Amino acid sequence: MSALLAVDQLRVRFGTRRRGTEVLHGVGFEIAEAETLGLVGESGSGKTTIGRAVLGLVKASGGSIRFDGRDITSASRRDRRELAKEIQVVFQDPYSSLNPAMAIGDILSEPLLLQGVSRRDARARVRTLLDQVGLPVDAADRRPQEFSGGQRQRIAIARALAPEPRLIVCDEPVSALDLTTQARVLDLFREIQQRTKVAYLFISHDLAVVRHISDRACVLYRGDIVETGPVGQVISHPEHAYTQRLILASPVADPDRQAERRRQRRQLLDSLEPSGASA
């Protein structure tokens, strides 16, 4: 399977050479067409920085990012505008990612109009998009504040789908939602992928979410990928202590089992500390 996205030895450094901090230390992975790769790790692990580097929102200090065989590591603003047709993003917060002053129809048609699509065709595409994400056609005339968090995230997904991209970077797209709504939105992501063959770079701190949505998983710890493989294998048979610690962080209903998991997690934390650098 040829790679749609190929990241090789990616490094990102913030600040100056003398006083800066390297937050990614040479990470690499590939995503194929219609595949979902889950990037999982705690806050500060570097997973969001990877997504932002793919989108061109942060500058790589080393390594390369290739999309469909083309090096986009240092793509110009003009090239990035062209890439927006093929690489889109869904952000974490469904409340701040949509302009409250705009009607939903305008939010969804804006990227299409910028690409030269006629207003008539854009309106037709908006109707299709709303149907794809399970919202009524009259939602186009309403504003974001009239919708729930889950509905707003559906709108954000529709906006990402508008230019018919080949890859969507999903940066913690369900973490601000309740568990029931999370499940519905994750199912929506999978349904859309089955229909459109879009690939996802799915970023999350939650292994349960990654397991639900991903084909493969990469576990990040302090700027390094410490484990990667088919998602079922990574979660059912974790090899690295950090992956084991993430699994133990998931709560269970039994108080005695939960106490034992906390004890095991503390032991794993102690084993990780000597080899870890500052987060």
pLDDT tens sequence across 25-80: 999 999 999 999 999 999 999 999 999 999 999 999 999 999 999 999 999 999 99
pLDDT at position 97: 83
Assess whether pLDDT exceeds 90 at residue 101. Answer: yes
Q: How confident is the model at residue 275 (pLDDT cuts 50, 70, 90)?
A: very low
Q: How confident is the model at residue 96 (pLDDT cuts 50, 70, 90)?
A: confident
* Cβ–Cβ < 8 Å for 225, 29: yes
What is the DSSP code (8-state) at residue 86? T
C-alpha torsion angle, residues 83, 152, 179, 261 (rounded to 10): 50
pLDDT tens sequence across 140-177: 999 999 999 999 999 999 999 999 999 999 999 999 89
- What CATH code is assigned to 3-86+201-275? 3.40.50.300
Q: What's the average model confidence in pLDDT over 124-148?
A: 95
Task: Supply the mean pLDDT for the chain.
Answer: 90
pLDDT tens sequence across 192-212: 999 999 999 999 999 889 999
Q: Mark residue 12 as left, alpha or beta (left: phi above 0; alpha: psi -120 to 50; beta: remaining).
A: beta
Q: In angstroms, rounded to a whole number, what is the distance separating the alpha carbons of residues 103 and 168?
A: 23
Q: Which of these, 61, 76, 83, lies nearest to 9 by C-alpha position? A: 61
Domain segments of the chain: what residues? Answer: 3-86+201-275
pLDDT at position 199: 98
Q: How confident is the model at residue 22 (pLDDT cuts 50, 70, 90)?
A: very high
pLDDT at position 255: 64
Q: At what angle do helices 119-132 and 149-161 cross, to 10 degrees?
A: 130
- In 3-state terms, what secondary structure has residue 203? strand
Tell me, rounded to whole angstroms, the distance of Cα 85 from its chain centroid: 17
What is the DSSP code (8-state) at residue 273? G
Least confident of 46-55, 220-229, 247-256: 247-256
Provide, rounded to the nearest whole percent, the portion of the chain with pLDDT above 70.
89
- In 3-state terms, what secondary structure has residue 123? helix
Q: In angstroms, rounded to a whole number, what is the distance separating the alpha carbons of residues 130 and 135?
A: 5
Q: In angstroms, rounded to a whole number, what is the distance separating the alpha carbons of residues 49 and 57?
A: 9
Q: How confident is the model at residue 270 (pLDDT cuts 50, 70, 90)?
A: low
Q: What's the length of the chain?
A: 279
